[in-house]
Amino acid sequence: MKFGETALADAHGAILAHSVKHDGGTFKKGRVLSAGDIEALSASGVTSVIAARLEAGDIAEDAAAERISQSAAGEGCTVTAPFTGRANLYAQAHGLALIDEARVAALNGLHESVTIATLPAYAQVAPRQMLATVKIIPFAAPSDVVNEAAGICATGEPLVSVAPFAARDVGLVLTRLPQTADKLIAKSTRTLSDRIEALGSQVTQVIECGHDAAAVANAIEALRAFGCDLVLVLGASAIVDRGDVIPQGLERAGGEVVHLGMPVDPGNLLMLGHAGAVPVIGVPSCARSPKLNGFDWVLQRLAAGLEVSGADIAAMGAGGLLKEIPSRPTPRDAQGQLAGSGRAPRVAALVLAAGQSRRMGPDNKLLEPIGGVPMVRAVVENVGRAQVAQVTAVLGHEPDEVRAALDGLSVSFVQNADYGKGLSTSLKAGLDALPGDIDAVLVCLGDMPFVEAQHLNKLIAAFDPQEGRGICVPVFNGKRGNPVLWGRAYFDEMRAVQGDVGARHLLGQFEEDLCEVETGADAVMTDIDTPEALAKARSE
């Protein structure tokens, strides 16, 4: 790749490294300069630009990021479309992130152009939580490096995956000494139940017994007979030796102690064992507190269906000094906090399908067949394949017919009683119907059947208000098209629009927050308003 100051005459196809102003506006960093762009810059007196030019053997940043991220993703992962050389991996389920840290280090050691950042191995994640991000540092990476990186990802188990938590029936044994208070038993039961429920399981059986090996053995055998998938034993006194009450009780029940103690503080005095196929944990006293401790790490792995060995516990020492962490979420709080940190945006799609299509004549254009299905159905099918949380169709003119055309699709409906007053009323009706947890909305037109899911996913991948990309507009050959993705921050201004117009005039008002996304497809420019346009679309 060649990088540096480039004469305008040599800049066709080059990638802008810095934004450049011209008389008609600004070409932003990352734009691939077209012949028209060069004419505009030349007319504005620009003679050179700082740009990158790809050479033979280079792979463009987005293509490189996409290949590596797809190779890295395993079960339970969703990969976003790449944008500016970045592709993110998100969790699909509540569970544990499985990360091969050695191969992550190997990949990052290949070449400075290729990087991947991940969560720590076994981090607890919620749906839509970011697991990893692949970033290509320059505008391109050498093809041999990309090939080697993809090979590292594809060797053995997936580089990044999620082990989901599964619902399990948990049995709880609580031992008593004469001095054990009832309120301590109640607190222990409540705190452990909260931990279990936060992982999608439940405590189905609770047995209280004396603090002696025979009583513990009987309790463990009874819980196995009840069919419990996991047994927890919290003693009235801490476990300090394999000859102590709880280890001896497990062995009397025909079980085996796998490991005693762990290099995690709090949580040192944990016992891991099994009775037949049922894991048994001797719970450390610190688990009476909801604060994170070593017991949580073992419990989470078992809840995710992962085997835990003595070697696994021994390896938890690095990073195991939990008591020194200033802020530690409780198990009940953890799921919500994770979901709010680095999560994928919840993007809704509005399909505006309320218009009277006056330019088409007497027929409702949205019901006209394109590719064998009504035009509006083709639109909603394409939108539904994108990475959107929900699809809502705004109805107005001939609502029953439009609804029938969408029968069987995963779409909700909102009726715009004021559709005769123009497009802005449909936009407002659609926005008002969105749930409060939506981060952004794709405003899609019902007469653009050739916009595909891949085009929408590029807009979603680009959306990042913190990086100044709160509005994302598709571009083809330097011209802006539809649909436009709007962040929640602009919903109030969009609701204030009046008349038979959409929100496009707001783009100039928020130019600093706008991101142009080159789609490489004229579909984002093609709406079907007239019989002539319909005939042309059918012929093509």
- For the ranges 222-236, 344-358, 406-420, the lowest mean pLDDT is seen at 344-358
Last residue of a domain, one of 164, 182, 205: 164
Task: Calculate ∠ Cα 387-390-392, nearest 5°.
Answer: 130
pLDDT in tens, 305-341: 999 999 999 999 999 999 765 544 444 444 433 333 4
Percentage of the chain lying above the pLDDT 70 cut: 96
Considering the domain architecture, whether residues 428 and 462 belong to the same structural domain is answered as yes
Considering the domain architecture, whether residues 94 and 190 belong to the same structural domain is answered as no
**Residue 518: DSSP 8-state:** E
In 121-270 the beta strands, taken as DSSP E runs, fall at 124-125, 130-136, 140-142, 160-164, 169-176, 202-210, 230-234, 256-260
Element (H, E) at 185: helix 182-198
Q: How many CB atoms lie within 10 A of CB 22?
A: 16
Banded model confidence at residue 258, pLDDT cuts 50, 70, 90:
very high
Considering the domain architecture, whether residues 46 and 84 belong to the same structural domain is answered as no
Considering the domain architecture, whether residues 488 and 517 belong to the same structural domain is answered as yes
* Domain at 530, CATH number: 3.90.550.10
Distance CA 63, CA 82 (A): 8
Considering the domain architecture, whether residues 277 and 214 belong to the same structural domain is answered as yes
Considering the domain architecture, whether residues 354 and 429 belong to the same structural domain is answered as yes
pLDDT in tens, 282-312: 999 999 999 999 999 999 999 999 999 999 9
List, in sequence order, every residue forming a beta bridge with 343; answer none if it has no partner: 129
DSSP code per residue over 233-248: EE-SS---STTSHHHH
Distance CA 294, CA 271 (A): 11
* pLDDT for res 288: 93
* Domain at 210, CATH number: 3.40.980
Last residue of a domain, one of 323, 339, 355: 339
Does the structure show a pLDDT above 70 at 481? yes
Considering the domain architecture, whether residues 370 and 394 belong to the same structural domain is answered as yes
pLDDT in tens, 237-253: 999 999 999 999 999 99
Domains in the chain, number: 4
* pLDDT for res 341: 44
For residues 47-60, give the mean pLDDT.
93
* pLDDT for res 342: 66
Considering the domain architecture, whether residues 108 and 227 belong to the same structural domain is answered as no
Last residue of a domain, one of 117, 148, 164: 164
Considering the domain architecture, whether residues 107 and 67 belong to the same structural domain is answered as yes
* pLDDT for res 503: 86
Angle of helix 331-339 versus helix 182-198 axis, rounded to 10: 30
Distance CA 468, CA 466 (A): 6
Considering the domain architecture, whether residues 98 and 185 belong to the same structural domain is answered as no
For residues 457-470, give the mean pLDDT.
90
218: its two tokens: 């009987």
For residues 94-123, give the mean pLDDT.
97
List, in sequence order, every residue forming a beta bridge with 272; answer none if it has no partner: 259, 281
* Domain at 111, CATH number: 3.90.1170.30
Considering the domain architecture, whether residues 354 and 371 belong to the same structural domain is answered as yes
pLDDT in tens, 196-212: 999 999 999 999 999 99
For residues 157-177, give the mean pLDDT.
97
* Domain at 28, CATH number: 3.90.105.10
Distance CA 98, CA 72 (A): 11
Its domain, for residue 215, covers 169-339
Q: Which residues contact 353 (CB under 8 A, 6 or more apart)?
A: 366, 376, 379, 393, 394, 395, 396, 402, 446
Considering the domain architecture, whether residues 274 and 392 belong to the same structural domain is answered as no
